[in-house]
Amino acid sequence: MPGSLLPVAEGSRPVTARLSKGAGVPGGGPDVLGLGLHVGPGGGLGGPWDLALSSSGIGTATRCLPLPATGWGRARYGSLLPYRVGRRLVWLLAVPHGEPLAPASLGLLEQRVRDRPWRLALLAGPGSGRWRPVAALVLHTVLPVSEAGRVSFDPVLNRPPEWTPAPGWLTRARESAYRGSRRGRRAPERG
């Protein structure tokens, strides 16, 4: 997108997405829904970029709160914390297009994506003010479990260098948590 806030070149590129339920509520019960995105290196990025988004509010006071959602298409998936880009703070938000996709069942969502693509708009916004569209996401392929299990997401290591998660004290806590996660899955310390 011309004049985009994102540090990637214009055009289409493959992205891997992982959808999850935060509390693991069985079936289609309401839960904090997660959307992880992995953008591979190239196209303006030095390395990969992993985004961790959760169902959240979209207002100035609620965008940092993970909120349960009753359906995949009803949720708004926010970064919960901003990135510091230069002298400004930038929040990210993915908003689904089309029908509401209820209930919040991973199995039903997988079947829906097998039948037809699921489209979302990726928006960026300041701490207060309007959200701007910066990218379109189209989820259209479900990976086999054997392949999906090999994809790991690490938003602490895998990010553009000029995009620093904020605030600093919480970023340090997240870094410690992800370091433990990498040890647990025996992943390298560099993305």
- Integer Cα distance of 185 and 177 in angstroms: 13
Mean pLDDT of the chain: 83
Residue 1 lies in a domain: no
**Burial class for 18, CB neighbours closer than 10 Å (0-12, 13-18, 19+):** middle
Rounded to the nearest 5°, which phi and psi values hold at 44? 105, -20
**pLDDT confidence of 34, banded at 50, 70, 90?**
very high
Indicate whether 46 belongs to any domain. Answer: yes
Q: Which DSSP helix (H) or strand (E) runs through 113?
A: helix 106-115
Is residue 149 included in any domain, yes or no?
yes
Q: What is the mean pLDDT of residues 43-49?
A: 81
Residue 5 belongs to a domain: no
Highest mean pLDDT among 56-60, 148-152, 178-182: 56-60
Q: What is the pLDDT of residues 94-135, one digit of tens each?
A: 999 987 777 899 999 899 899 989 999 999 988 777 899 999
Give, as one character, the DSSP assignment of residue 150.
Answer: T
- Indicate whether 176 pLDDT > 80: no
Domain membership of residue 74 as a residue range: 15-185
pTM over 0.75: yes
Lowest mean pLDDT among 4-8, 39-43, 61-65, 71-75: 4-8
Q: Categorize the per-residue pLDDT at 142 as very low, low, confident or very high, splitting at 50, 70 and 90.
A: confident
CA nearest 49: which of 153, 140, 122? 153
Q: Residues of 32-62 as b/e, b for ≥16 C-beta within 10 angstroms? A: bbbbbbbbeeeebbeebbbbbbbbbeeeeee
Asked whether residue 9 is assigned to any structural domain, the reply reads: no
| 19's tokens | 């959808």
- The total domain count for the chain is 1
The CATH number that applies at residue 50 is 2.40.180.10
